[in-house]
Structure 1
Amino acid sequence: MPGTPRKKAAAAGPKKTAVKREPVQPDVLTKMLSIITASLEEDKAEDIVVVDLVGRANFADRMVVATGLADRQIAAMAHHIEKKLGEEGFNRVLVEGANGSDWVLLDAGDIVVHLFKPESRELYGLEKMWSADLDSSESEVAVGKGEEQG
């Protein structure tokens, strides 16, 4: 078969390895979640939503979505969450987009926090995408209905 081993590996793509996350203790998850939501409330975040991801995603157990009105407010909220989690011993918090963007992501391992400006939050609609409503068959949209009324 022509090609070097490196080219063959590149063509095959990344190895498929299923990584199982160990479930976090409920009290640890509750503590982290209370630190995050309290910090957001102190920083005047708007429309704070917590989405349960257990059994629906393997990257986290909870997702927190909140809105800030300005870049500086969003960056400050991210900094305060990171600092307060660190003070409680949760040091592995990764922050993306904190340098003045419409969307900042904090990955605290078991909890993922999304901080948006209002227009970006509406555009991406993450809490709608991950809500339990989409899992039920009642929320399915019938294709073709209502198009031929006239």
Structure 2
Amino acid sequence: MIEIERKFLVKSDAFKAQAFKSTRIVQGFLNRDPERSVRVRIKGDKGVLTVKGKSSNNGLSRFEWEREIEKHEAESLLKLCEPTIIDKIRYEIKVGNHVFEADEFFGDNKGLIIVEIELKHENETFEKPDWLGEELTGNIKYYNSQLSKQPYNTWKS
């Protein structure tokens, strides 16, 4: 139940041509406390409820508990979420032995694309595709819980 992941920006949208799957995700947060967040998500035709703990000091790992729920339950819970609802398309791209997940955001976060890779351990090596950009791991500003509170389109250049 410990999630280990690294986050990056992208240099280009070349990842789209390499994606083997894309899924629309709509999600909101019932709680965005820095110590723990509670997220409800509709991913395709499924609902998901997730609890995440505080990130480690280096931002690489944190507790994550997730359960599938009925889509209609997720739709009801989204109505109770704090502003703003996140809308994105997730592209899954296999590179070497790993799957990268690229999230292209819409609505108040339009223009932002964040790529994540989940790892088995913090020092695990992985192949870096040409389109992978600046690393964001541990930068709370790019957490979905923060993007729902302070969307990308409100950031000052």
Q: TM-score, normalised by structure 1?
A: 0.25
Mark the structure with the bigger radius of gyration. 1
Higher relative contact order (CA 8 A, sep 6+): 2
